[in-house]
Amino acid sequence: MKIPLQLFARARDLAGKSPIEIEVPENASVAQLRQILIADFPQLTDLGPSLLWAVNNDYVGVEHVLKTTDEVACFPPVSGG
């Protein structure tokens, strides 16, 4: 299945665009999505372990299982305020 992935801040700048589309197996977890993201965009390798993940505007752990209808985003640690 194809997951549209929104990237923000330095992650978006490194990837060069947002959203990007990632092809993952059915019932893939966020961990699998991350692995494929980094294979497709090796410039995200260093940032990979610190990336935060959100599904439908809530934070999720990497064990979270994705559905095609999910709104998925990833980004580095936040620094607002």
Partner 1 sequence: MIELTEKSIDFTQLTNLVRDHRAGAVLLFLGTVREFTGTEQTSSLRYEAYPVMALKKLQELEEECSRQFPVVRIAISHRTGDLDLGEISVAIAVSAPHRAQAFDAGRWLIDTLKERVPIWKQENYQDGRIEWVHPGTSGASNSMTNQTP
In the complex, the residues that contact partner 1 under the rule CB under 8 A are 6, 8-10, 13, 46-47, 50, 52, 54, 57-59, 73, 75-81
What residue spans of the chain are helical by DSSP H? 9-15, 30-40
**Minimum Å distance from CB 78 to partner 1?**
5
**Minimum Å distance from CB 5 to partner 1?**
12
Cβ pair 67, 4 in contact under 8 A: no
Cβ pair 2, 68 in contact under 8 A: yes
Of the pair 4, 76, the CB lying nearest partner 1 is at: 76
